[in-house]
Structure 1
Amino acid sequence: MRKANLNFPTSNKIQEDPRSSVSAPIACCSKIAGVEVRQLVAKYGSPLIVMVETTLRNKYQSAFGALVARYPRVQFAWSYKTNYLKAICRIFHEEGALAEVVSDFEYDKARSLGIAGESIILNGPIKGEPLLRRAINDGARIQIDNHDELKLLERITGTRNEPLGVGIRVNMNVGHEKGWNKFGFNLESGESHRVIEQISRSRSLRLDGLHMHLGTSIINVETYREGAKKLAGLACHAHERFGIKLCYLNAGGGFAAGNLPETNGCIEQKHTPSFEEYAEAICDSLQNYLPDTSNPPLLLFENGRALVDEAGYMVTRLLSSKTTGEGTRSIIVDAGVNLLHPDHLKHIKILPVQTTRRPAEPTIVYGPLCMNTDVLSEQAQLTPLDRGDLLVLHPIGAYHISQSMQFISYRPPVVLLGSNGEQDIIRRQESLESIENLEQLPGRLANNN
């Protein structure tokens, strides 16, 4: 497989301008994976989302390689919610990933892609009875989130001839990150211990695994070291107290993607750990604290952002510019917060396509929506631009597509740049027909013009 240049910009020149009063370098992005941005826009229009296949595969292989080098049995599961386009899911399944889903929709999507039930991990705080029954019949891994779900599963499985293997999600205090108390059974209060005891006495359920998911974009590897230590300790408790030998431990996801700047202007950078640093923190703890390191349980990961974010680019065109009453330059582009979710904007770089020696200055970047809150950046460092100039926003591969909303305008196409130079539309641009497909106009209103 051809190796990709994973550093951003792909083949762009970075220049410093002595006239600029801004400390950050002036950068541009003229190509994505070797393809001219202007050529892509000429062919597919603007705005445009571009995904790079080689980056997806290389990220997967790098992360998996770092972990399997330190732990004997590792399995990845692709987090569908991070980017659930069929082509993206298929690429990760080709690399060997299971499917990690949290809803009927995602479960249906995985099954429609031909993923067998036993290759699906079913998570989430709300799992309706029909979905649970389907997952049981298909042989999916169910990870129990709360007491009501546990009771429901015991009722559903009450007449089984053999117990159903399940996992439980555990939340814990790891000291470095604010805990996600919404999900799972708490460790420190003893709740998770009591649930293990309850399942050990059940005639219809069997505890097969423990699951944690400590947060998102975690840049302190000690969070994982402490979490893995506590999860291994809980596995020891289950083994010593109830004789339970677990089939798997699930470390969840949460690895950060790339360098996360403090601002859209890229003035200050936070260090993002390498896959090797994450792997060392997790695997060292497991090797030190698991009850039987000679035959350890399968180690699952539910990876998302770290594998897909840097493979995604948004190309957008400048529509107008002005100076605010305070004297700050502002521009309006044709991609807005309906396409780029505000919660994930802070680490996006905004780069012009064309090179320039003009000095950069703080610029407000607005989207095209009729909302004053449609702001992509309050202080992007950009040189003066003209109507029609192109900008590239990166990285946008994680969550922006799955959390985009249909609002005011048609959502753009998504193009996949293949490993061998292919260009494929993996989601067409919306149309009035596609948007109105589920609508129905009552007969009594049909002829009222």
Structure 2
Amino acid sequence: MNELQYEKPTINKIDFTMASKYGSPLKTQNIRTEIDGISVHTLSEKFGSPLFVFSQRQMEEKYNTLYSAFSSRYPDVQFGWSYKTNYLNKICKVFHDLGSCAEVVSEFEYQKARALGIEGKDIIFNGPYKPYKDLKIAVEEGAKIHVDNLFELNDLEKIADELQREIPVAIRINMDTGVHPQWSRFGFNFENGDAYDAVKRMYDGGKLYLNGIHAHIGTFMLDANAYKIATVKIMQLKAQVENDFNSEIEYIDLGGGFASKSNLKGVYQSADVIVPTADDYAQAITDAIYTNNKSEKLPKLYLETGRAMIDEAGYLLTSVHGYKRFPDGKKGYILDAGVNLLYTSTWFNFNIELDKHYEGDNEVSMLNGPLCMNIDIIEEHLMLPALNRGSILTISPVGAYNYTQAMQFIRYKPAVVMIDKEGTAHCIKEVDDLATVNYKEV
């Protein structure tokens, strides 16, 4: 028989008005005992805590749903896996095996894609900063270069001189789609004519020619109609360029930004209600292409998919290290995972699930991470029962951006596991240690 732990008694106000016909938050518990058939306790015991866990089955289901939504409506669709969303090798390989090319925004990501065996012709090179030597390598290897600014255009003309050949490039544009704030930092503006002027500059120079037009209008986009507006403007520029310069634009790229079923802070409707479906996004984009295409041939359609395909396939297991009472009576739990691993906690309210049913009523609690920083708060007000030291919580969805932006700060970065389609867990990234942190120091 387990001995009961002593806890100093406290008096806390119970607000019975919180109860409704849907039940009482004093009793409700969200529970997750397993991921893809493997117990969260088994995963934690074998691979350690905290632990990132990814489901290959869910990744492939998300890919197939999104790809089917587009390919059933449009004849020539190519997905590009967004490396910045999650660049772990095994994760990238899953999407490459499904047919995605690589979309990168730095020389580091470009090198990573090449190391994974992706040919230059199958890499989209985006981003506002492309170092000259890496830009030249990408050109030599046939990558799809998306020009962001005039300085980059100058660099490409110089590279064209060095290689003594014309270089095909795409141009990134930004525009007003009715969504604010407008992403005007990247590329050339459509409305004020900067985009057209940049294209004219290319053709006047005679060293570059345009073969693609790209836009990435935002992130976690909840309005599918914004993609319709963006597509219309891309197609308008395409028609103008093809007419004025007697050229053919081979492809258009609508970027990414499709939302996952995450709950935004400050938005009180469920993600199930406000997040567009894959069909919503696909219908908005493809309808606009068909309606606005002025040439005999339809352009190839690229999409830089990321968040929508992996966010809900990622989980973070974390263990309760201890707890304490704050002066206001609220109970605060100390976890072994904090904001160092959950970069997106700034914007999203995560699902927090318990490893079993716990006896007793819930009370307002706080979840704190392990950092010696006052800002290390995962959830400030959460109704929880009395948890034990060693209780395992599952935090989700965390598949997008959290690992790639996780900090090696105060704590080592944890291990990462992927559960394959047969239900077997594989370690795809070992936990960091002192040798990892000290590597490269001199």
Aligned to 2:148: 145
Give the C-alpha shift of residue 149 in structure 1.
0.5
DSSP 3-state at the match of 1:92 = helix
Q: Secondary structure at the match of 1:26?
A: coil
CA deviation after TM superposition for structure 1 residue 325, in Å: 1.9
Q: Is the 8 A contact 2:358 2:386 kept in 1?
A: no
User: Which shifted more, 345-354 or 147-156?
Assistant: 345-354
1:239-274 deviation per Cα after TM superposition (whole angstroms, max 9, x unaligned): 22222210100000000011425469x885552111
- The one of 405, 421, 424 aligned to 2:423: 421
Equivalent residue number for residue 4 of structure 1? none
Whole-Å separation in 2 of the counterparts to 1:231 and 1:382: 50
Matches of 2:23 and 2:162 in 1, distance apart?
74
User: 1:94 is matched with which residue?
Assistant: 97
Q: Within 5 Å, which residues of 2 pair with 1:307-322?
A: 307-322=309-324
Please, what is the CA RMSD of the aligned residues?
2.1
**What is the total number of aligned residue pairs between the two structures?**
423
Q: What letter corresponds to residue 139 of structure 1 in structure 2?
A: G
Deviation at 1:31, TM superposition (A): 0.9
Structure 2 counterpart of 1:27, one-letter code: N
| Partners of 1:359 and 1:275 in 2: CA distance | 40
Is residue 319–residue 333 contact of structure 1 (8 Å, CA) maintained in 2?
yes
Query: Do residues 111 (structure 1) and 114 (structure 2) align?
Result: yes
1:211 is matched with 214
Q: Secondary structure at the match of 1:231?
A: helix
Map 1:128-143; keep pairs closer than 5 Å: 128-143=131-146
**TM-score scaled by length of structure 1:** 0.90
The correspondence for 1:324, drawn from 323, 326, 344, is 326
Task: Report the equivalent of 2:128.
Answer: 125
Partner of 2:55: 52
Q: 1:26: Cα distance to partner? A: 2.7
Please tell me whether the aligned partners of residues 73 and 282 of structure 2 are also in contact (alpha carbons under 8 angstroms): yes
Structure 1 residue runs without a partner (length 5+): 1-15, 441-449
Q: Give yes or no for the alignment of 1:245 onto 2:248.
A: yes
Give the alignment of 1:239-388 within 5 angstroms.
239-262=242-265, 269=271, 271-292=274-295, 294-342=296-344, 346-356=348-358, 358-388=360-390
**Does structure 1 conserve the Cα–Cα contact (< 8 Å) formed by 2:262 and 2:397?**
no
Kept in 1, the 8 Å contact 2:358–2:387? The answer is no
Q: d(CA) in 1 for partners of 2:62 and 2:204?
A: 43
State the secondary structure of the residue aligned to 1:315.
Answer: strand
**Which amino acid is 2:389 matched to?**
R
- TM-superposed CA distance for 1:330, in Å, is 1.6
Once the two structures are TM-superposed, the CA of residue 32 in structure 1 deviates from its matched residue by 0.6
- What secondary structure is seen at the aligned counterpart in 1 of 2:348? coil
2:29–2:354 contact (8 Å) kept in structure 1: no
Q: Give the deviation of 1:331 after TM superposition.
A: 1.0
Seen in structure 2, the aligned counterparts of structure 1 residues 151 and 19 have a Cα distance that, compared at 3 Å, is: closer
- Residue type at the aligned position of 2:29: I
Q: Residue 255 of structure 2: SS of its match in structure 1? A: coil
Return 5+ residue gaps in structure 2 as ranges: 1-18
The alpha carbon displacement at 1:361 in A equals 3.3
Partner of residue 36 from structure 1, selected from 30, 39, 54: 39
Look up the SS of the partner of 1:153 in the other structure: helix
CA distance in 2, matches of 1:99, 1:177: 28
Checking the alignment, whether the CA contact within 8 Å between 1:361 and 1:382 is kept in structure 2 is yes
Choose from 52, 61, 67 the match for 1:64: 67
Q: Is the 8 A contact 1:260 1:272 kept in 2?
A: no
C-alpha distance 347-36 of structure 1, shift in aligned 2 (>3 A): same
- Can you list the C-alpha shifts for 1:41-74, whole angstroms capped at 9, x where unaligned? 1211211110101111111111111011111110
Q: Is residue 405 of structure 1 aligned with residue 407 of structure 2?
A: yes
C-alpha deviation, 1:118, in angstroms:
0.3
Structure 1 residues 256, 23: CA separation in 2 closer, same or farther (over 3 Å shift)? farther
CA 1:286 to 1:23, structure 2 compared with 1: closer, same or farther past 3 Å? farther
CA spacing shift, 1:383–1:133, aligned 2, 3 Å: same
Aligned-partner Cα distance in 2 for 1:23–1:250: 49
Aligned residue identity for 1:220: D
CA distance 1:331–1:197, shift in 2 (3 Å): same
TM-score (norm 2): 0.91
Q: What is the CA-CA distance between 1:19 and the residue it aligns to?
A: 11
